[in-house]
Homo-oligomer: A and B are copies of this chain.
Amino acid sequence: MVLPSADAPLGVFDSGLGGLTVVRELRTSVPHESIIYLGDTARVPYGTRSASTVIRYARSCAKVLTERGVKALVIACNTVSAVAVDVLRAELDMPVIGVVGPGADAAVSAARAEADRTGGPPPKIGVLGTQGTISSGAYNRHVQQISSRFEVIGQPAPLLVPLVEEGWLEGPVPELAVRKYVEGLLDVGAGVFVLGCTHYPLLRPTIEKVLFELMGRPAPVVDSAAATAAFVAELLLDGRIQANASRGLGKLQLLVTDQPAGFQKAADLFLGQHTPEVEQIDLSVE
């Protein structure tokens, strides 16, 4: 691997808006890094597509970012991370970080902590995600690589992304939708919960509220976006490729493949700050 330049930006991509929750966390964990974000809004959502289609889309997103000289690639989408991270790692000459690995690590830590607290066996790890992420079994594979002591149960939650994109984050409709999905996990013994889609952090207060109502106590909730940002900070430090802090805060550049105006309007909610200008690029020939 060629040693990447510390001054180069991080490349982050997602099928659309959701990955901005990872950017939001990165702005806190590695504030001096510049970031180029690509949202493939012309082909969103990836969550319902086949693995081969997602891999094809992921390759074209990665190509755009590597051509812009990024030093590392963050796949800020659970669906892509679940099916394409190994392919991109094999093909690219730079660090490739998905959200599933750090999310699974954090879930195992939370399950261990629960076991320590109760003195019993670790609770099952319940993962909420898109159909694509859950069908891939990626969280289970990662967790089994750590230890076979832990059990993962996946629950597709297809209504949560549209609820977030509609900005419908609290009240009876999101609560009933979350309850429907979470009850399935509780029925089979889940005691640690993973937000296995980068849209879900915006529903975290509602998810925690529903879990509290159903369990009678606060439940451990793991956010794959936050876990990934923490992991990226470590990786840049360990690899000695972190940006020079003396140059000030990093820049944020946003690219989309369709609907830049709609993206910009919705992005504030995900990013937790005012969204800079959004540039549209064309991936149609990829």
Contacts and interface: CB of A to CB of B under 8 A. Distances in A.
A180 B177 CA distance: 16
Given A172-B172, A173-B176, A176-B173, A258 B49 contact: yes
Contacts of A168: 159
A53 B41 CA distance: 11
A163 interface: yes
A244 interface: no
A153 B222 CA distance: 43
Contacts of A56: 284
A53 B42 contact: yes
Contacts of A50: 258-259
A214 to B, nearest CB: 17
Contacts of A262: 48, 131
A284 B173 CA distance: 37
A50 B43 CA distance: 11
Contacts of A49: 42, 258-259
A176 B166 contact: no
Contact of A173 (B131, B165, B173): B173
A158 interface: yes
A285 to B, nearest CB: 9
A216 interface: no
A161 B45 CA distance: 13
B44 A48 contact: yes
A17 to B, nearest CB: 11
A140 to B, nearest CB: 21
A120 interface: no
Contacts of A42: 49, 53
A162 interface: yes
Contacts of A259: 48-50
A172 B163 CA distance: 15
Contact of A158 (B44, B166, B176, B177): B166
> Top 3 nearest A-B pairs by Cβ distance?
A162-B162, A173-B176, A53-B258
